[in-house]
Amino acid sequence: MSRLATSTLIQYKTGLKGRLILIQDGLKEEEEGCWGVIVSMSEAEKLSREQIEAFLEGSPEHQFRGKERAEVYAWITRTMRVQEYRKHGKPMRGLLKRHMEKMTGRSRTQMTLLVARYMEHSQVKAASYRRHRFQSRFTRADIELLAEVDEAHETLSGPATKKILEREFREYGHAEYERLAGISVAHLYNLRKRPRYRERRMNYVKTRAVQVAIGERRKPRPDGKPGYLRVDTVHQGDLDGVKGVYHINLVDEVTQWQMVACVAALTQSHLRPVLQDLLRRFPFLIRGFHSDNGSEFINDMVSGLLRELLIEQTKSRARKSNDNGLVECKNGAVIRKHMGYGYIATAHAAAIHAFYQHDFNPYLNFHRPCGQPERIVDRRGKEKLVYKRYATPWETLRSLEQALPPGQTFLKPEVSIQSLDRVAQAHSDTEAARAMQQAKRKLFLGFRQEQDTGERKTA
R_g (Cα) of the chain, nearest Å: 40
Of 349, 331, 391, the residue nearest 367 (C-alpha): 391
Residue type, 457: K
Burial class (CB in 10 A: 0-12, 13-18, 19+), 161: buried
Residue type, 55: F
Q: How confident is the model at residue 202 (pLDDT cuts 50, 70, 90)?
A: low
Q: How far apart are CA 134 and CA 259, in angstroms?
A: 46
Q: What is the pLDDT of residue 9?
A: 35
What residues pair up with 24 in beta bridges, in sequence order? 27
Structural domains in the chain, sorted by start: 10-121 (no CATH), 140-200 (no CATH), 218-426 (3.30.420.10)
Q: How far apart are CA 448 and CA 440, in angstroms?
A: 12
Q: How many CB atoms lie within 10 A of CB 64?
A: 17
Q: How far apart are CA 41 and CA 47, in angstroms?
A: 11
Q: How far apart are CA 358 and CA 260, in angstroms?
A: 11
Q: What is the pLDDT of residue 23?
A: 35
Whether the predicted pLDDT of 12 surpasses 80:
no
Q: What is the pLDDT of residue 65?
A: 62
What pairing do the DSSP bridges indicate for beta strands 40-41 and 10-11?
Answer: antiparallel
Residue 389: alpha-carbon gap to chain centroid: 21
Q: What is the pLDDT of residue 67?
A: 66
Q: How confident is the model at residue 42 (pLDDT cuts 50, 70, 90)?
A: low
Residues belonging to the chain: 459
Rounded-to-5 percentages of helix, strand, coil across the chain: 45, 15, 35
Cα three-residue angle 289-290-296, rounded to 5 degrees? 95
CB 197 within 8 A of CB 141: no
Q: How far apart are CA 162 and CA 168, in angstroms?
A: 10
Under DSSP, is residue 302 helix (H, G, I), strand (E, B) or coil?
helix
The DSSP secondary-structure symbol of 282 reads S
Of 123, 98, 118, 100, the residue nearest 41 (C-alpha): 100
What pairing do the DSSP bridges indicate for beta strands 246-252 and 238-239?
Answer: unpaired
Residue percentage of the chain with pLDDT more than 70 = 81
Q: How far apart are CA 42 and CA 44, in angstroms?
A: 5
Under DSSP, is residue 53 helix (H, G, I), strand (E, B) or coil?
helix
Q: What is the pLDDT of residue 450?
A: 64
Indicate the pTM of the whole model. 0.61
Torsion angle, alpha carbons of 277, 279, 283, 286, to 10: -160
What pairing do the DSSP bridges indicate for beta strands 288-291 and 312-316?
Answer: parallel
Q: What is the pLDDT of residue 213?
A: 34
Whether the predicted pLDDT of 309 surpasses 80:
yes
Round the average pLDDT of the chain to a whole number and report it: 81
pLDDT tens digit sequence for 423-434 = 999 999 999 999
Of 391, 388, 387, the residue nearest 369 (C-alpha): 391
Residue type, 312: E
Q: What is the pLDDT of residue 185?
A: 93
Q: What is the pLDDT of residue 378?
A: 83
Torsion angle, alpha carbons of 151, 154, 156, 158, to 10: 30
Q: What is the mean pLDDT of residues 356-381?
A: 90
Whether the predicted pLDDT of 353 surpasses 80:
yes
**Most distant CA atoms of the chain, gap in Å:** 122
Q: How far apart are CA 448 and CA 433, in angstroms?
A: 22
CB 92 within 8 A of CB 49: yes
Q: What is the pLDDT of residue 130?
A: 73
What does residue 437 show for φ and ψ, rounded to 5 degrees? Answer: -65, -35
CB 248 within 8 A of CB 274: yes
